[in-house]
Structure 1
Amino acid sequence: MILAPTISGILTAINQEGCSASDAPTATNTLAYLTGNGLTITDACGTGNLTVTSSDGTPSGSCPWSIIRTYTVTDACGNSSTAQQTITVDDTVAPTITCPATISQTADAGLCTAIVSITPATATDVCSTPTVVGVRSDALALNAPYPVGNTTITWTATDACGNYSNCVQTVTVTDDELPVLAPCPANITVCVGATVNFTAPTATDNCPGVTVTQTGGQPSGITFNSTGITTNTFVATDAASNQSAPCSFTVTVVEDPTLSATGDATICIGGSTLLTATPAGGFTCSPVNWEESVNGVSGWAPISGGTGNTLTVSPSVTTYYRAVYTCTGNGCDPSPLYSGNVLVAVVNPPSISVSGGGSICAGSSAIITASTSGGTGTCGITWESSTNGIDWVVIAGETGAIYTTPALSTGTYYYRATYGCSGSGCAPATAGVTVLVNANPSPDFGMADLSVCANEQGVTYTLSSTYNNYTWAVTGGTIASGGGSVDASVTVNWGAAGNGTVSVTVSDGNTCNGTTTANVTINSRPTVTYCQSPDYCLTSEGGVSFNIQGGLPPYTVSWTPAGGTPSSPATNVPAGIFNINGLQGLVDYTFTITDANGCSPEQ
């Protein structure tokens, strides 16, 4: 009887990790394997002689692959039974993926996006080359521009069996571009009381969401009532907190325009002077213009070329001037604005006349007077002298209208005065005089001896020259005769001993005076007593005794008898007793006694 081995149970299926059917495990053709994996095998003849063989069917499917492996158990008699085992080979291992590094990049200029170069993730797999696919979080193509902010790319690596792995790459685009404020308002200038309106600047940016903020100053539409400078500042801030450069402009508030003019002056005909206008405040102002009028009230006329803060004028007659200032700036009143009047008076140039020249006498001073007129400014007189009328020398320290010369000696002198003024156009004027200095007369008595005796009478003094006029004076005596204004001599009766003078002042045809004084010594006279009686004088008969005193010894004594011949004089007679003997009786004698000064005793 033919009995095949009996096989019961189910052989444990095998799940094998692998990349293809060829990765199925090699069959284990042993009875132990089969019985160890779910089968019960028996045989009528026992199991000791059983053999196991196997064969694999054609694989089916893919990922996984299915293989039916058939085991045949054969006994010693060739009887066999089979059992099948299902082998599944499957690839369940996901690929290994490597993500690119995070990318940080600034937005492209002027854009809120950036073109980013993307390098795909890399992947490996044990069985096949996986495919790698990246998907952006915004679902745009990988090469599309990336917006500012974070964009993720999810990379997925998938192998042939559909196993996959993924990773996430972050692309960060930053906005570093500053917003731009434009246009920034221009600086504004207004006068006090003006309302200032302006259009705030607007901002542009590479990304939306920019805002404009005023960080300083005053808003538009504010009225400014005081002077000063206000700075208005605006900034723009974008969504990335980037802040623009500030836009700043000033609002300058100035006073209403004011205008003053100076230059009041007095000038000479042909002179000039500078007028000065001082404009202040206001803005958008035209240059200062000048007008003139002859009366300062009406008839104002513009001056040709009279533009600017200063003006040099040279009127020929007294003229009034004013400055005109026009400002058209916002809120500036009034316009036009006129300064006060500036008066330029025109006077005659300096003039001078000089008097006081002519003839004077030597030793006298000439008084010269300057009379001035005209001119303006600081005026003064300068005196000069000359000995020839050509070469002049300034007289130091002399600036008055009257100049008194020093005492002058005989000769001809020239003097002139120059009258100058600092005023414009005031040319100096000069006038002069000639001074002729005549010699003074020199009267002289022509006498060598001017000594007289006390009480000497009738002494005549006569000048050696004649003059037009005489003035006589005598001290120590009296004028006996002459001594009148037309007398060239004087007769004097002298008085007591001492000193006397005879003075005369004469005047010549030039009214020049000369004086001479004779100092006269009035000598005392000697005194004498005498006796001629022998009884009393103790002299012999025919003798005379004299006691001579005073005067100036020695004396000279002489005597002459009546009708007789004079005696030889006795000289060098000393003071005291002097006796004369041998005189004739009954004869009259004349005795003459003179002292050393020639003086005799009074009779």
Structure 2
Amino acid sequence: IDAGSSDNCSEVSFELSDTNLNCEDLGENMHEVKLWDENGNYDSTSVMITVLDTIAPTFIMCPESFTTMNCVEVTYDLPQAADNCGIEGITQTQGPASGSTFPQGTTQVSYEAMDVSGNTTTCSFEITLHNTLEVTQSVSDYSCDPENPYTATLTAGGGTEGYTYVWSTGTTTAQTILTAPSPWSWTVTDALGCEQTGEVDLPIPDTMSITLQATAATNMESNGAIEVTVTGGTGSYGYIWYDGDGNLLATTEDLTNIPPGNYCLEVTDENECIAQGCIEVENITSTIDRTLEQKITLSPNPTSSEVTISFDIPQQRATLILMDISGQEIRRMHKQKAADEVTMEMRDYAEGVYLMKIVVGDQLVVKKVMVTKQ
């Protein structure tokens, strides 16, 4: 305050007109200063006084750190602060707001209080989200039933009881049937919104099926045959053949050198799934040369539109029977004596293997026709 006041005879004393300064006087203020010497002489002047606030705010309530198991909404009391000159505001500087969803683990939350002079102070605390929900999964052995190949079960514990279950299959119970395609995912949620997720990934083999193709016997001799095609299933196959009376006949894949009659096959894969089928080996009384099969050709084969059956057997009628792979008749046509070829339309049939049965007199020839889609 004394900016060089002086007196010729003694020391100078001085006083301010107002020494009771407070927050209302923040900033620059003009004040009167009185000066006097030992002889009672006095003078006065005005000076500029700047009042500063350097005292930081104080948090009168800063939450304690705590642990929760609520995974949906975590709430806490908001911090409160006070200051000698007044609070400008309290701002959150770190962490989710009260009422938000918190991540699992420990999260630091911080708030900053600022007074009207820009002084600041910080309140920090930690919130730990502890998800104690535990889920175990179990899956049954593979079943040969294509509608129920596996059954999976979830067992929940810990957390807060009141569990809900959601499977990617659409099931909302702890147990579900797993059908193709895999994998299958699941989510378990407890009453406070804590979750555990998982996945089941197991192979589902294609359903096993068998196709039987018979070659007719001639003149009641044991010269017939059955060719087997197996698809789907798992691993290697086991074969059991039975004759028409149910007697065990063979354990080979195909049958050769067999007489006319009915035959049934049971195929088992490594999962002990079973496929069955039966077929008849016909008898043909033949007086025509066995080279007949070589005198009949099909082209184009494979085909996407039509197939032409050409005959090198002039002046003979023939019956043509188109069958599916199971032997079910689809279409029948006839070749007249004078014709040496017959064309059959195929474009309306699904892609796959078909059988063409050709009967010439008392002899039978069976050929495969492959239909493709371009």
TM range (shorter): 0.3 to 0.5
Length-normalised TM-score, structure 1: 0.25
TM-score w.r.t. the length of structure 2 is: 0.37
Higher relative contact order (CA 8 A, sep 6+): 2
- Structure of greater Rg: 1
